[in-house]
């Protein structure tokens, strides 16, 4: 028995090595020895079994892994919804901008048309005034000519 303890102590992993899944190596070593396996081989097999169980455990997802995956999926869905909402708001904003631009363009066109109309009226009034002034001066000129030269 003393030899078994020495063999087990020499093959025990360091204390800072923490296992998540453990096997009762002593009972496994005794069971293997009862079946005719040498002590060193039995110890090595029991630790190999323990290591294999550890690697199998790492291959499976934990509850925390599923919760994280669920959180990531919810975040991605939320992000996709926010993106759709942003695109909808952007298209609404562009529509409103286009509508406002059309209103401003119409207002500007009306003001330009009104100013053009006022200029045409002023031009017509000026033409009437100038024509009237020329006619008056011409009549005055004929009157002066008749008075002095006839």
Do 23 and 49 touch, CB atoms closer than 8 A?
Answer: yes
Contacts of 28 (CB under 8 A, 6+ apart): 42, 45, 46, 49
DSSP string for 117-137: HHHHHHHHHHHHHHHHHHHHH
What pLDDT sits at residue 124? 94
Residue bearing tokens 């009237």:
132
Residue 30 placed within a domain: yes
Name the band, by pLDDT with cuts 50, 70 and 90, for residue 78.
Answer: very high
Residue 87 placed within a domain: no
CA 46 to chain centre: 53
User: Which candidate, 5, 47, 41, 3, places its Cα nearest to that of 24?
Assistant: 47
User: Of the segments 37-41, 62-66, 119-123, which one has the largest average pLDDT value?
Assistant: 119-123
pLDDT at residue 97 above 80?
Answer: yes
- 58-85 mean pLDDT: 88
Residue 33 placed within a domain: yes
Residue 53 placed within a domain: yes
Q: Whole-angstrom Cα distance, residue 45 to residue 36?
A: 13
Q: Whole-angstrom Cα distance, residue 33 to residue 18?
A: 27
Residue 101 placed within a domain: no
Residue 141 placed within a domain: no
On whether the pTM is more than 0.75, the answer is no
Name the band, by pLDDT with cuts 50, 70 and 90, for residue 105.
Answer: very high
Residue 103 placed within a domain: no
- 115-133 mean pLDDT: 95
Tell me how many domains the chain contains: 1
pLDDT at residue 34 above 80?
Answer: yes
Residue 80 placed within a domain: no
Do 54 and 21 touch, CB atoms closer than 8 A?
Answer: yes
- 41-65 mean pLDDT: 80
User: Which candidate, 55, 74, 76, places its Cα nearest to that of 66?
Assistant: 74
Domain that holds residue 50: 2-60
């Amino acid at each position: 028995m003393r030899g078994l303890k020495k063999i087990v102590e020499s093959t025990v992993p360091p204390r800072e090595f923490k296992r998540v899944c453990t096997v009762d190596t002593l009972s496994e070593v005794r069971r293997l020895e009862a079946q005719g396996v040498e002590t060193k081989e039995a110890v090595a097999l029991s630790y190999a079994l323990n290591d294999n169980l550890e690697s199998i455990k790492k291959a499976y997802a934990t509850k925390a892994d599923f919760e994280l995956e669920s959180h990531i999926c919810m975040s991605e869905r939320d992000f996709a919804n926010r993106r759709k909402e942003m695109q909808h708001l952007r298209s609404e904003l562009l529509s409103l901008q286009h509508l406002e631009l059309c209103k401003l363009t119409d207002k500007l066109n009306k003001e330009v048309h009104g100013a053009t109309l006022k200029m045409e009226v002023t031009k017509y009034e000026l033409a009437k005034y100038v024509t009237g002034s020329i006619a008056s001066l011409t009549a005055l000129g004929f009157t002066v000519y008749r008075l002095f030269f006839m």
